[in-house]
Amino acid sequence: MTGRALAAHLATLALALAAPPRAAAAEPPAAGEPSLATPPRLKELVPAELPPGTSFPSPEVTVILSLEVGASGRVERASVESGTGEPFDGAALAAARRFEFEPGRLASGEAVPVTVTFRMRIREPAPAAPPPFRLAGRLLERGSREPLAGVAVVARSEGQVLARATTDAEGRFAVEVRTSSFTLAAAPEGHQRLEALVKGEPGETREENFYLESLGGPNETVVSATPLLREVMKQVLTAEQVAVMPGSSGDALQAVLNLPGAARAPFGSGLLILRGSAPGDSRVFLEGQEIPQLYHFGGIRSTFAPTFLESIEFVPGNFSVDYGRAQGGIIDVRVRDPSPLGFHGEADVNLYDVAVEMEGGLGGGWSLGGAFRRSWIDTFLRAVIPKDAHLSFTTAPRFYDFQFIATWRPDPSQRLRLMFYGSMDRVVALLEEPEADPTITGTFDALVSFYNLQADYLSALSSKLRQDTSLVLGLQEVDTGLGPQYFFDLKLRRLAARTSWTLELSPVLQGRAGIDAEVYGADVSLNLPNAAGPNPVPPSTLPQIGTTQYVVLYYPAAFAELRIAPFPSLSFLPGVRVDWYSDIRRWAVDPRLLMRWQVGPTTVLKAGIGLYQQPPEPQESAAVIGTPDLLPERSLQVSAGVLQTLAPGVTLEVTPFYKALDRQVIPNANANYDPSQPRYTNLGTGKIYGVETLLKVNLGDRFSGWLAYTFQRSFRTDPPSPQMPFDFDQPNNLTVLGTYQLGRGWSIGARYRLISGNPDTPVLSSIYDSATGVYVPVYGATNSERLGTFWALDIRVDKVWTFKDWKLTLYLDTQNVTNHKNQEDWLYNYDYSQRTELTGLPILPILGIKGDW
Amino acid sequence: MRFSRALPCAFALSSLVACSGNLLPPSYLDNLRVLAILATPLQIVLDPSEPPPTIALTPVVYPAGSLLTDQQSWSFCPVSAGSIAAYACAVPACALPSPNPDGSVVATAADLESCYPAESGAPGLPAAGLSSPVETTFTYTVSSVTASGTETRVAVLQLPLYLGPLPPGVTPNRPPAFQAVEIGGVTVFPAPASPVPPPVLPNGGSVDVHVAIDPASVDTYLDADGRPQVETITVDFYATAGRFASDLATGLDNTVALQGTSFTPADLEAGTLEVYVVALDLRGGQAVVGPVAVAIAP
């Protein structure tokens, strides 16, 4: 029976019951004849079966039949009394002949044949309910194709909800509807709403991806860490923020230097100067393990490309006991795992370098990613070298770096990540004629590289105990030489291990302990001018110092920390770190205490005090060229801060700080002529104080930015000299930056910096060294002058075209758009009687194009 | 592991080389200059078996002959803190005898020893003693009165002082010697037997200055680690007008162009300029050729 026939059957049944039977006799029974007591009663109705596609003249047709119902209840004869025509009449007769009745009966109960008139109404069947349309879809972020999980999806039509679903971890969902047209709606957080009209055929099964634009973008945050704040001031920049930060060219470490507490590094130096500390006093980590070399040549690009960057944690001082061997501050670069879903990639080409990246999931909990970047500034550099510079490049400055990451997540409680990353910088130049000093000539060759193999394993041993472990095997090489006489060659093999256990005993008490060990094997060979003084002099006038040795250094350490929270709003973090420095054979014990108090819903007070020590630099403590019995350098750091939420999206953080330095390693000038005296002493002291201010503004999805101002003074006393400003003492450091989303993929950002010039030592006169033919400067009081104030405006414009499967970004990041000539130093003539300003970067536009899919 | 105070900055070096600016080059002579200090001998040997040493020191100053005797002086420092401390004297310096009118001076052993406190041997030196040789310093100060005031120049010459006989393998240092100097094809050293026309530098043109050093004058010495090293000879070029393509060169045979550019009206009016060539062995030995007159062709 076809569907249509069945429909007719049902219609027939409904109507047949209403038809009145009548006696089979044509005439009323004569007197004395038995009369009919009960008429036949239909027991089973058989529907009229019409051929498929029968056209009804009207919604309902009626066929009046005459049926002779026998004593058995069967229809003995059937005829049409009043018909509609074929095929309705025939169908009605055929159906009627199969009717079964309860026979009519006389009063005596005897069954008798009876003729009845049966009115069969055949109604045109209603259209059949169509088969459902099944839509299997995926919600993905537009451009990145990241799945949007846990999103409610609704199919609706004419105000009625037809179906509901929720996306799974891969962003997949399925709805089944019985209409051919409906609206699919979803509203994932931080993304465009989905309102899509979907049309399909009944019974059709379709798969379709829906791409939703991310609204949050980089404007979300300068996040102040996690609720468990273990530092007085810790700022976190996300990868998205870094990518569009004006003036930073998308570089991670450049971006972090816009935060309060970071001084501006001089042109090309790439120095890290945190909270008034010397560059060598701060350390940069990658997932807790130190990066051997921060920047490529020129200080514009850091050695770890931002492709796999998740965030950067910036702590200019009072950092936790996890970190040591540094008396300044720290930066920890956090790495993201490669995407386990699908395959993604990125290619970035700009005027400075070119980078490619690929990543994807391998199944079984594994995901894999790799990135490679190479500069091509060497292509342009030859063109800008003046013809009279007497300099030619055999190998112009070039660099590459790479990162390979494999992550295994067998279950939510474990993660193993393997990383292999490295960097190489190379330049070979020929100084055809000495420019100013007879020893500065010949081939200048510099090769700086490192390769690290790092494994991180994170495991939740129980619901309250977690273990983090990392292991690094590294090789660092530095081969530099100038002419036949000056060289510095270093081959450093490094094995470092760090593990920590975090035990959450209760909301009131948490414990944390760990070990942090490093072992170095260093081949060192050098022959250099012995420039053991605060100010530079011509190298040809200096005695040379040379050595070749292999040393093994090991720095084991252990640390422990408690988190005591007597009230949910108040917590104390006392901790201690114990280090052993094998080069000077000394212990260092660093107690530290941090406090955090949530005074109210909008106010947080923070404070910290602690001791921070670090070993001398290897050349300072080396047996032949240094002083092996030095003490560790140390600083006492005190800071206190308030974090105030002024309005939704607007916070103000103010952090005063003070640092007292002692045991600072300084060269001993007397050792220049008296070999019995130590080359270095621990007589240096210093003090640093200031206040850091950070006003952050996040206005919806459109604008975010901050104003960072640091007032800071940093002084050193290197006996017998009196107290002097530190080389990078920058009393005023103001950075204002912001990025505005214009819409339609356009965004514009700007950064303005106004920073005190660095201290400088004036040259009062000069002395002609007739043996070498050069003039030796006679300096005035160290750092008694100051270079000109630095200011620069940087602007970045991004345009993003978002397609279903990929995004195309065109960007122009222009540093110093006003081409302001900022003084970086003085350039003196041969006898120091004349000088002119040595200025830094002129306007530097970096135009680039990036595609990611 | 930190090497922040040790690693050279390659990029900064290339930047400095590239940014020479518009400052006057050292090869251009336009004011009072000490060009060299010629010493004989080039080391001081306190050998009891030898006669007391006598050191003859002669400055080469530009402009020649314009100085007054009382505007020149010499001093001696037995132990200097070196260039890093602007040659500050570890023990008080003392004055040497008044120089001759040409600035030269002869320092006897008595002059030198008078600089030490009484208990000498090498007295007055730090109690821990010194390792021989000691870098001693002779300082020459000269002044000249010009229309704009008094110009003063200070120059030093460091010579090694051996606290006993020369160690085995150490030979006395000798100054470098010129083999030939030619300017524009005209030999100016050795001096020609008969007068020849001076070299000519065309205004806007250039002439080559060729300097050859006598290889026999190049010494071998032992460095601080006792390894034998061959002296590196440097040649400094000076001119009172025009510009040298390079201020200095290294090696035994060098040719540097003297360009007829940047002439002042006074240069063109005078029609001549002077050239000096100074050779150095970077160990105290020096030799000078000059002044050599060069005609300027308009």
Q: Which chain B residues are Cβ-neighbours of A830 within 8 angstroms?
A: 23-26, 247
Q: Any residues with CB less than 8 A from the CB of B172 and at least 6 apart, and which? A: B41, B42, B43, B166
Q: What is the mean pLDDT of residues A573-600?
A: 95
Condensed to tens digits (0 to 9), the pLDDT of residues A661-676 reads 999 999 987 787 777 7
Residue of B7, B84, B155 with shortest CB distance to A768 = B155
Tens-digit pLDDT profile for residues A241-253: 887 888 887 887 8
What lies within 8 Å, CB to CB, of A503 at 6+ separation is A464, A465, A510, A511, A512
A635 pLDDT above the threshold of 90: yes
pLDDT at B243 over 90: yes
Of the pLDDT bands very low, low, confident and very high (cuts 50, 70, 90), residue B47 is: confident
For A797-817, write each residue's pLDDT tens digit. Answer: 999 998 888 889 999 999 999
Residues 6+ apart with CB under 8 A from A633: A281, A327, A613, A614, A615, A616, A661, A663, A664, A665, A682
Tell me the pLDDT band of B2, cut-offs 50, 70 and 90.
low
pLDDT band at A474 (very low <50, low <70, confident <90, very high): very high
- State residue B9's pLDDT score: 39
Distance to chain A for B265, nearest Cα, Å: 23
Res B192 pLDDT > 90: no
For residues A125-139, average pLDDT: 80
Three-state SS at A539:
helix
- How far is A282 from A509, CA to CA, in rounded Å? 31
Which chain A residues are Cβ-neighbours of B85 within 8 angstroms? 533, 669, 672
The yes-or-no verdict on residue A224 having pLDDT over 70 is no
User: Can you give the pLDDT at residue A391?
Assistant: 67
Q: What are A231's two structure tokens?
A: 């530092």
Does residue B115 carry a pLDDT above 80? Answer: no
**Amino acid type, A565:** A
Give the span between the Cα atoms of A674 and A666, in whole angstroms. Answer: 16
Residue A659 has pLDDT above 90, yes or no: yes
Average pLDDT, chain A: 86
Look at residue A22 and tell me whether its pLDDT is greater than 50.
no
Average the pLDDT over A674-690 and give the result.
91
Q: How far apart are CA B160 and CA A660, in angstroms?
A: 44
Q: For B226, which DSSP code?
A: S
Please report, in angstroms and rounded to a whole number, the separation of the first and last CA atoms in chain A: 54
pTM of the model: 0.78
Q: Which residues contact B259 (CB under 8 A, 6 or more apart)?
A: B205, B206, B242, B243, B244, B245
Rounded Cα gap, residues A175 and A196, in angstroms: 14
Instruction: Locate A802 and state its tokens.
Output: 């978002």
pLDDT in tens, B280-291: 999 999 999 989
Q: Report the Cα–Cα distance between both ends of chain B, in Å, rounded.
A: 63
Residue A458 scores a pLDDT above 60: yes
Q: How far is CA A398 from CA A354, A448, A782, B4, in A?
A: 12, 11, 36, 21
| Amino acid B67: pLDDT | 60
Interchain pair B1, A618: CB under 8 A: yes
pLDDT band at A84 (very low <50, low <70, confident <90, very high): confident
- Give B1's pLDDT tier (boundaries 50, 70, 90): low
Return the sign of the alpha-carbon dihedral for residues B13, B17, B22, B27: positive
* Residue that the structure tokens 């990353």 belong to: A421
When the pLDDT of each residue in chain B is averaged and rounded to a whole number, the result is 84
Find the mean pLDDT for residues A741-762.
Answer: 94
As a whole-number percent, the residues of chain A with pLDDT over 70 amount to: 92
Secondary structure element (H or E) that encloses residue A609, with its range = strand A603-614
Q: How confident is the model at residue B129 (pLDDT cuts 50, 70, 90)?
A: low
Say which of B20, B156, B224 has its CB closest to residue A544. B224
A580/A587 Cα distance (integer angstroms): 5
Average pLDDT over residues A79-87: 86
Residue A498 or B47, more confident: A498
Whole-angstrom distance, CA of residue A404 vs CA of residue A356? 12
CB atoms B126 and A676 under 8 Å: yes
CB atoms within 10 A of CB A316: 32
Task: Please judge whether A770 and B24 are an interchain contact, meaning their C-beta atoms are less than 8 angstroms apart.
Answer: no
- Give how far Cα A835 sits from Cα of A211, A229, A827, B84, Å: 61, 50, 5, 21
Look at residues B266, B265, B273, B251 and name the one whose alpha carbon lies nearest to residue B206.
B273
Of B5, B245, B248, the CB nearest to A280: B5
Beta bridge partners of A448: A425, A478
* CB–CB contact B7 A478 (8 Å): yes
Average pLDDT of span A159-182: 87
Assess whether pLDDT exceeds 70 at residue B3. no
Task: Please give the Cα distance from B278 to A763 (Å, whole number).
Answer: 26
Burial class of residue B222 (count of CB atoms within 10 Å of its CB; 0-12, 13-18, 19+): middle
By Cβ distance, the residue of B4, B24, B154 closest to A280 is B4
A617 and B10 within 8 Å at the Cβ level: the answer is no
Mutate which of A274, A551, A770, A827 to disrupt the B interface (most B C-beta within 10 Å)? A770
Name the residue among B123, B231, B119, B131 with its Cα closest to residue B175: B231
- Residue in A755, A726, A731 with CA at minimum distance from that of residue A824: A755
Q: Who contacts A307 (Cβ-Cβ below 8 Å, separation ≥6)?
A: A346, A355, A357, A371, A403
Per cent of chain A over pLDDT 90 is: 45
Q: What is the mean pLDDT of residues A546-568?
A: 92
A272 to chain B: closest CA residue: B4
Confidence category of residue B20, pLDDT binned at 50, 70, 90:
very low
Check CB contact under 8 Å for A429 and B250.
no
Highest averaged pLDDT of the listed ranges A19-28, A217-226, A666-675, A735-744: A735-744
| Chain A residues closer than 8 Å to B37 by CB | 770
**pLDDT given for residue A389 in this prediction:** 63
Residue of A226, A371, A323, A776 whose CA lies nearest to A575: A323
**pLDDT average, residue stretch A409-419:** 90
* Exposed/middle/buried for residue A470 (C-beta within 10 Å: 0-12, 13-18, 19+): buried
What is the sign of the dihedral through the CA atoms of B19, B25, B26 and B32? negative
Cβ-Cβ contacts under 8 Å, B226 against chain A: none
- A220: closest CA among A198, A243, A196, A204? A243
How would you write A461-479 as a 3-class SS string? CCCCEEEEEEEEEEEEEEE
Check B280 against A773: CB less than 8 A apart: yes
CB within 8 Å: A673 and B82: yes
Determine if the peptide bond prior to B133 is cis (ω within 30°): yes
Do residue A298 and residue B156 have CB atoms under 8 angstroms apart?
Answer: no
CA dist A243 and A796 (Å) reads 11
By C-alpha distance, the chain A residue nearest B159 is A771
Query: Which chain B positions have a beta carbon within 8 Å of A385's beta carbon?
Result: 18
Instruction: Give the three-state DSSP class for B16.
Output: helix
Encoding tokens for residue A478?
């530095």
Check CB contact under 8 Å for A279 and B223: no
Which tens digits make up the pLDDT trace of A40-67?
888 888 888 888 778 888 888 889 988 8
Please answer whether residues A457 and A416 qualify as being in contact, where contact means their C-beta atoms are separated by less than 8 angstroms. Answer: yes
Residue numbers in A near B26 (CB within 8 A): 436, 829-831
Contact check, Cβ <8 Å, B154/A280 = no
Structure tokens at A22: 């009548």
The length of chain B, given as a count of residues: 298
User: What does DSSP assign to residue A24?
Assistant: S
Residue A736 has pLDDT above 90, yes or no: yes
* Separation CA A368–CA A308 (nearest Å): 11
| B-chain residues near A834 (CB < 8 A) | 23-24
Q: Which residues of B touch A496 (CB under 8 A)?
A: none
Distance from CA of A384 to the nearest CA of B (A): 9
CB < 8 Å to A273, chain B: none
Interchain CB distance below 8 Å, B81 and A828:
no
Check A435 against B17: CB less than 8 A apart: yes
The yes-or-no verdict on residue B274 having pLDDT over 90 is yes
Lowest mean pLDDT among A8-12, A42-46, A269-273, A558-562: A8-12
Q: Specify the pLDDT at position A804.
A: 80
Determine which of B1, B61, B79 to mutate to test the interface with A (most A C-beta atoms within 10 Å). B1
A776-781's contacts with Cβ under 8 Å and 24+ in sequence apart are A776/A537, A776/A538, A776/A541, A776/B83, A776/B86, A776/B87, A776/B156, A777/A535, A777/A537, A777/A828, A777/A832, A777/B86, A778/A832, A778/B86, A779/A535, A779/B86, A781/A722, A781/A724
The reply to whether residue B23 touches residue A827, judged by beta carbons under 8 angstroms, is yes
For A277-390, strand residue ranges (E) read 283-286, 289-290, 309-315, 330-335, 343-350, 353-363, 366-375
